Amino acid sequence: MKIKKTVILSASLLPLFCLAESDAKPFINEITTLPLLSDSSLDVSLRNYWKYLKEDAANPKTVHAGWGQGLTLDYKSGYIADFIGFDASWYGAAKLGASDYFSSRGILYKSGSENKKSNAHGFNKFGQRYVKFKYGSDNFQLKAQGGWQRLKEQGVISTSLRLSPITYRGWSGEMALGDFTLLGAWVDRSLYRDSPEQSFLKTNDGRHIDHLASGELRYNSDAVNVRYALGESDDYLRRQHLFISMPLTPSLSLGSQLYFTRALEAYRVMAPGKRDFDHSARHYALDLTWQQDRWRSKWGLGYTEAAKKDGVGFYPRHMSKQSFGTFISMASAGDDYLRDKELMIATMTDYRLTKDLLSGIAVNAGRINYLGHPITTAEINLYGQWTPSHPSLKNLRVWAMFGPGWSYKNIKRKPVMHNGDYSHSHFLAGEVIIDYKFKMF
């Protein structure tokens, strides 16, 4: 009968299945013990981000606000033959709230050209997917990556993180020998922090830039830390920066930064209204950091030169649109405090109230002269951070910052003057960030 034959056939094949299963177990065990898999990890990050600005500098009173929930899955493999591996990161963002003009906050995806809150959306993307290589010994290390990747202070190129970071397509590398490290990067496209769409690097007037290349040499010892970088956005801007930091005493350290940017042909042919400066721009910064017991205080001084005919020039922090530049001066606050011939002073001072809770104040102030009239801008922010030490909450961080500011009304960045004085403007800004991270394996 058919049923009997089927039973007999199944019974006859049972030893083969058992044999195959017994042979497969050692093979599976061998695969899972390979460093490619055994040394791999998957980290999960949750970020809730609310960012707010109410201002009246260039428009009637306008609110810029975005609120979203982010999820990051960050996979890192081990290495095959201790040489090659593969990493990937997926980013998701959900819209929780938005106002008109939300896109200036860099949190939610803007699906249309109009500044309407109905155009605010969430997004998802594989922001990182690259092959990685390493080679070296105790005294010499060589690393390289190719593909879509996040670059943090890689010469003149860096990233910015909201619900997801800016990532770039290209190659990067690092070579370390003793106290010296040489870094390099070449990129031609980016995925911006609030978008799932690949973008070419662009000039201020929207033309494509073929690539952005950068190199950096670092020297790090107990006595001094020196970083020199050189980079160029192809035929658009060329930049050099020099960072130096050193401890003066066990509780006091000194830092300085010099930034030099030169306009190239594709920049010089733009219309004057699209240029931040005419020919070259420089920014000089000095900072002093004191830390003792529960107190920490950092003070900074900065000065900018960015001449522009018939306008107020600015030092551009970024080498192109759709990219982010390395900029660690305390003048890092949008376009503020980077105007031509602007002198800036800033401080961030905080006190650790408990092991888990920190509270502080941040103040920035700058002054320029426009048509012989002094113009002052300033802002004050109170901030706090809670990082619970309880084992069940050890991967949680809550950050909040709020405060007012004072500036000037402007039309295309030019101050609006009235009866020999500038028209004042006011703003109120704030942000709340809640991070939670855990490891899947």
Q: What is the pLDDT of residues 212-263, one digit of tens each?
A: 999 999 999 999 999 999 999 999 999 999 999 999 999 999 999 999 999 9
Closest by CA to 157, choosing from 131, 377, 165, is: 165
Domains of the chain as residue ranges with CATH: 24-439 (2.40.160.10)
Range in 94-98, 237-241, 274-278, 329-333 the model is least confident about: 329-333
What is this structure's pTM? 0.91
Q: Is the pLDDT of residue 93 over 70?
A: yes
The Cα–Cα gap between 129 and 90 comes to 9
**Burial class of residue 155 (count of CB atoms within 10 Å of its CB; 0-12, 13-18, 19+):** buried
In angstroms, the CA 294 to CA 292 distance is 6
Least trusted range by pLDDT, from 136-140, 254-258, 290-294, 342-346: 136-140
Question: What is the predicted pLDDT for the residue at 233?
Answer: 98
> Per-residue pLDDT tens for 6-52?
444 344 444 544 545 556 666 566 666 778 888 999 999 999 999 99
State the pLDDT at residue 4: 44
233 touches 319 (CB < 8 A): yes
Q: What confidence tens digit (pLDDT) does each residue in 342-393 have?
A: 999 999 999 999 999 999 999 999 999 998 899 999 999 999 999 999 999 9
60: pLDDT confidence band, cut at 50, 70 and 90? Answer: confident
Which amino acid, residue 188? Answer: D
Distances (CA, A) of 57 to 54, 114, 243, 427: 10, 20, 33, 8
The per-residue pLDDT for 25 is 66
- Report the alpha-carbon distance of residue 270 to residue 273 in Å, rounded: 8
